[in-house]
Amino acid sequence: MARDPDTIQREIEEARDALAGTLDELIERANPKHLVESGKQTVQAKLSDPRVTYAAIGVGVLVVLLVVRKLFR
């Protein structure tokens, strides 16, 4: 059954609009500034966890002790 040319044209325009919206969303997601900001927020969220904070402090103290020990030997 043949379709009306106006219907086909409308469907093409709807598909084009949907693809344009999807492309705009992909461009926004792939923006390097947004990726950096998202990464910073993720790191800040991880570092605000007390377990991670205390582990980082412990590693820092251990490194300082090893450096001091190496200097005085």
Q: What is the pTM of this model?
A: 0.45
- Residue 64 vs residues 30, 50, 52, 71: alpha-carbon distances, Å: 40, 21, 18, 11
| DSSP-assigned states of every residue in 31-43 | -HHHHHHHHHHHH
State the total domains in the chain: 1
Domain with 52, as residue range(s), is 5-71
pLDDT tens per residue across span 11-64: 999 999 999 999 999 998 888 898 899 899 999 998 888 898 899 999 999 999
End-to-end CA distance of the chain: 91
Give the span between the Cα atoms of 61 and 46, in whole angstroms: 20
**The pair of three-digit structure tokens given for residue 60, joined into one six-digit string:** 């820092």
